[in-house]
């Protein structure tokens, strides 16, 4: 007689939960829901994402926010950052940029690169907190030191424009290269732009193509306008693909 296998959600490791998350949506939702109710913060954060996205279940942003908040209160650092995202974007809760920035600050201070990036962005924009570009740069640099590609791109912007630091085109170009290679679409565009300015157009065009594959519609429109206004014929021609 075959023994009945009893599922124990408490036995799941974080790696196993992430593997489940990458699997078929329906079973993932069922399993992670059980693990979330069992009190595992990792499962609560992942199940919140499932509910927010409507992946294998009906989208339920209010319930998703509650799970994110529960995981955050247990100290789950990514959930802390996601609670900030919920407040920033009004996902399951009234939008509140000041509250978002407070949560980002906590995530940043606990060492999360995405928290650093989001807190730096808020400081740079003055979103929910007084504008403080020097502090923004410091947080971008901390995230960049952890290999966060989007932050590396923003550090490049400070050096290219000479904001808070002496202008340094070489340092900016290096940041953009690293951000591009890290998969950031803004970094890919900026890297291509700098390559083209250095008469390396043949190297620039593949990076523009990579940017176009993953950039947001809003960024695509800005990139297209930038390319159309370029004095470099090959870049003006590349605008047609954006």
- What 8-state DSSP symbol labels residue 10? G
* CB contact at 8 A, 152 and 187: yes
Percent of the residues in the chain that have a pLDDT greater than 90, as a whole number: 88
How far is it, in rounded angstroms, from Cα 182 to Cα 204?
Answer: 16
Residues contacting 179, CB < 8 A, separation 6+: 149, 150, 152, 153, 156, 186, 187, 188, 190, 191
Residue range(s) in the chain whose domain bears CATH number 1.25.40.10? 30-146
Exposure on the CB side of residue 17, measured as CA atoms within 13 A:
23
Q: Which of 5 and 71 is assigned the larger pLDDT? A: 71
Q: Judge: domain 30-146, CATH 1.25.40.10.
A: yes
**pLDDT of 4 above 50:** no
Average pLDDT over residues 224-233: 95
Instruction: State which fold the 147-242 domain adopts.
Output: 1.25.40
How far is it, in rounded angstroms, from Cα 158 to Cα 106?
Answer: 24
Question: Which pTM was predicted?
Answer: 0.90
* CB contact at 8 A, 61 and 52: yes
């Amino acid at each position: 007689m075959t023994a009945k296998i009893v599922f124990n959600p408490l036995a799941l490791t974080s790696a196993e939960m992430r593997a489940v998350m990458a699997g078929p949506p329906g079973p993932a939702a069922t399993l992670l829901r059980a693990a979330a109710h069992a009190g595992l913060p990792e499962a609560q954060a992942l199940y919140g994402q499932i509910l927010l996205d409507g992946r294998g279940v009906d989208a339920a942003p209010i319930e998703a926010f509650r799970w994110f908040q529960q995981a955050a209160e247990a100290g789950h650092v990514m959930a802390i950052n996601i609670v900030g995202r919920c407040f920033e974007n009004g996902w399951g809760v009234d939008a509140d940029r000041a509250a978002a920035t407070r949560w980002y600050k906590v995530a940043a201070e606990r060492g999360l690169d995405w928290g650093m990036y989001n807190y730096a962005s808020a400081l740079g924009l003055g979103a929910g907190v007084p504008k403080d570009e020097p502090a923004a740069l410091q947080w971008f640099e901390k995230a960049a030191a952890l290999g966060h590609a989007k932050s590396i791109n923003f550090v490049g912007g400070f050096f290219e424009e000479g904001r808070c630091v002496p202008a340094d085109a070489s340092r900016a170009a290096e940041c953009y290269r690293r951000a591009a290679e890290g998969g950031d679409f803004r970094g890919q565009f900026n890297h291509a732009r700098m390559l083209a300015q250095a008469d390396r157009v043949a190297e620039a065009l593949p990076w523009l193509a990579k940017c176009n594959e993953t950039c947001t519609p809003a960024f695509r429109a800005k990139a297209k306008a930038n390319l159309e206004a370029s004095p470099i014929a090959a870049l003006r021609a590349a605008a047609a693909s954006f």
